[in-house]
Structure 1
Amino acid sequence: MADDTTDTETPTRREYVKYGGTVLSAGLLAGCTSDAEQGVGTTRTESEAETDTPTGNGSYAVSMSPTGEVTFDSPPETVFTRLTHHADMAFALGHGDTVTAMHAPEYYSGLWNQFVERLPGVSLDWTGLYSSWKPSKEKLYELDSDIHLADPAWIAKQDSWGREDFEEIATNVSPWFGNSLSDRHAEPPSGWANYEYYTLWEQFELVAEAFQEQARYEALAAIHDEMRSTIDANLPPESERPSAVMLAAADLDEIYAYTLDNPGFLTAHTRPFGARDAFEGSVETNSVVDFETLLEADPDIILHLGGFEPSTNLPKRREAFKSDPVGSEITAVQTDRIYPQGARYQGPILHLFQLEMTAKQLYPEQFGEWPTYTEGPYPEIPPEEQLFDRQRVADIVNGDI
């Protein structure tokens, strides 16, 4: 990329964020070794959990792979994000209106608001933000965000950014602090050794520490833990579990299939339920399939990613399956078990809703019937059948902890 380094002084507001130690060894490039010395990513265990460390004068340090330790003098006030799991984390911590950039903001603002509608007194508006799928350094200078809540290793894998580009932004604008290759435990790109993988909630805890919003994290984590306990205690025996597949398609001419139990936070809302892989390992996640392949797998349930997005016509998608001579033979189609889902790059708020909906879609006898959904916000669930308290979550997001 072109050299966009400026000679202007770092803004005074920016002085509160800096890397602990030297940038090359302890911050942005932590873990950098020769290709011969590289290791694959490792999964962080509970005993290895990092916590924020006081550094004196009111500052604090938080460490996350792959950027290493970052020192803050005060919490960030504006947030650049690349993917929606990070934008949702900022939102969950009460900083949703400080996000300066994200991928496909209009699309995901519409999608997320289908769920936020069920949180009393909570609002979210990401429309009009910079779409950061392929960020430019020039735009990052212009946005002047206090933190880049994004994974440089993920960006390096997708785009033509080099380490000098990340270092430039970290030095002249603000640090990088995010992890995305934990999405499906993907191998890091060349030069990013010792990459660590986190669960969704492990990473959320670290982000909460960076924002000094530990109380919000702990309150939301308690709700999540209670949900998981309820789910785990009520799952039917493996022999009684349905087969399922998750699909995504802008139209049914190109259908992407995703398995439900591969490692990573993309399946954090499906893996706990232990549904059987309809493909039985014959199709890798993110593969393109046709009706013939789906009929051969013959899933009991089809989960339709993006089914809640306002522009998606879910009844039309269902009818397309029913009117096709092959698609109509699929068990999930014949039993009307094509259900909507939200997004794979889920943060903690979307994750709570997706855990609840998936529980009801897969196991209605154990967790209550999933209402027939055609369009509009996440359906109203009777209070006695809700798996988490909407008002409690809304209060936490709004700071009433």
Structure 2
Amino acid sequence: MARDDAWSGEPTRREYLTYGGSVAGGALLAGCLGSDGESADSTTAATDSPTADDGTTTSQEADPYTVSMAPVGEVEFEAVPESWVAYDGGYADMAVALGHADGLNGIGYAGRYYTSVYDELPGVEVPSDALETNPEVRTKEQFYAIDADVHLYDPQMLINWFDWDQSDVDDVSGDVAPFFANLIFRRSDEWHDYRYYTLYEAFEKLAELFQEPERYEAFAELHDEFVASLQHRLPPAEERPEVFLTYEGTTEPETFSPYRLVDAGTSKKQWRDLGVTDALAGTDIENLSTSNRNELDYENLLEIDPDVMLVRGHERKSLAEFRDTVLAYMEDHPVGRELTAVQNGRVYRGGYLYQGPIQNLFLTERAAQQLYPDEFGAVTGDEELFDRQRVADIVNGEF
């Protein structure tokens, strides 16, 4: 598709999906957000739409409805989107959880969308051909070529990370389909000056988008029961380990980018739910962000000396591969070997940067076994802390 043809400005999907207004100021939708930057409540008109056998609303005959989410504000849909593209694995996982895996047409960052969790869920899978064909959807040309019904991207992320202009956002949302998402994996970026959402708040917004309230409620109930069951078994706070979460993607780490567990982003949800103590508490070390790329060396870490180290950037490795490379290198390092976490073998993979509701269940289970093996079983063992079949049943509409 030629650039001039793709960006002619002629609406191609206005009859199907439209914004309730134009995005103003590069961040907020005029008239749809309050003065405090929080989005207005969404409204749904499809109350008497016909339903399929599994209880989901059929998209062909659904009435128009409106969904609201910062920073895009209100977005009107003439029918439930049948095809979608997501920037990160968290939003993709939400769509899969809601039973819409078949609509996946591409991803913004396939390298950080971990689909192996679905292998443990009978009947749940994602179209691998879409991920292989469109593994890094980030340009205007790609959005035009894919021609999806909705883009699960925070448009302000495209502006601040990939040098888009507001006019680029307006072109794609007007000519192809709207953007609908909020970057929620961390809360330390200065440009993100509008409302954040928790994992389940964002998940509920996508449930409104895809008209899947029953699946959302079923997941929320399962999640609440699961987390409560773990929290009931946690040791007293004074007996819990001090945890250092970091990013270092090499197998021979020399420096470490710090994450603060006090940051309320969704990427750290499992650690907060499990009541861990941030090893950086009481220090002036800031969270990794777009503007903060500071790193710590082994001497810095010795001053902190955490009980447990969680190293992100190695999720494609098995536990054994991680221990045979990253941990083995740290054990041989003249300073690294002095760390308490290294001496006790308590250096683990740090979990996904982007996680949705299905992935969060697996990561929370893994985190519980990493931190409290005496209570929940060894992370190398076979003990399961939540019901895989129940998760699969919700995704497949059998609940």
Per the normalisation by structure 2, the TM-score is: 0.83
Whether 1:202 aligns to 2:192 is: no
The AA in structure 2 aligned to 1:324 is H
- Per-residue Cα deviation, 1:286-330 (whole angstroms, up to 9, x for no partner): 242222222221111112224431489302111001111111111
Q: 1:144 to 1:327 in 2, by over 3 A?
A: same
Q: 1:26 to 1:254 in 2, by over 3 A?
A: closer
| Aligned-partner Cα distance in 1 for 2:387–2:76 | 35
What does residue 171 of structure 1 align with?
A: 174
Identity across matched positions, percent: 37
Whether 1:53 aligns to 2:55 is: no
1:155 Cα deviation after fit: 1.6
Contact kept? 2:246, 2:350, Cα under 8 Å: no
Q: 1:306 to 1:392 in 2, by over 3 A?
A: farther
Q: How many residues align?
A: 369
- Per-residue Cα deviation, 1:64-119 (whole angstroms, up to 9, x for no partner): 111111111211111121122111111211222322222332x345x331x22221
| Aligned-partner Cα distance in 2 for 1:27–1:149 | 17
CA RMSD of aligned residues (A): 2.9
The AA in structure 1 aligned to 2:360 is H
Whether 1:151 aligns to 2:154 is: yes
What does residue 131 of structure 1 align with?
A: 135
Q: 1:18 to 1:31 in 2, by over 3 A?
A: closer
What does residue 371 of structure 1 align with?
A: 379
The AA in structure 2 aligned to 1:326 is V
| Aligned-partner Cα distance in 2 for 1:64–1:326 | 48
Tell me, which stretches of 5 or more residues in structure 2 are unaligned?
48-61, 289-293
| Aligned-partner Cα distance in 2 for 1:52–1:178 | 17
Deviates more, 1:196-205 or 1:54-63: 54-63
The AA in structure 1 aligned to 2:165 is G
Secondary structure of the equivalent of 1:396? helix
Contact kept? 1:88, 1:349, Cα under 8 Å: yes
Q: 1:397 aligns with which of 374, 395, 398?
A: 395
Contact kept? 2:188, 2:287, Cα under 8 Å: no
Contact kept? 1:182, 1:199, Cα under 8 Å: no
1:181 Cα deviation after fit: 4.7
Whether 1:271 aligns to 2:278 is: no
Q: 1:261 to 1:325 in 2, by over 3 A?
A: same
What does residue 316 of structure 2 align with?
A: 309
Whether 1:321 aligns to 2:326 is: no
Contact kept? 2:107, 2:131, Cα under 8 Å: no
Per the normalisation by structure 1, the TM-score is: 0.83
- Per-residue Cα deviation, 1:263-282 (whole angstroms, up to 9, x for no partner): 22121111222322222334
Contact kept? 1:260, 1:270, Cα under 8 Å: yes
The AA in structure 2 aligned to 1:261 is V
| Aligned-partner Cα distance in 1 for 2:189–2:26 | 22
Whether 1:87 aligns to 2:92 is: yes
What does residue 232 of structure 1 align with?
A: 231
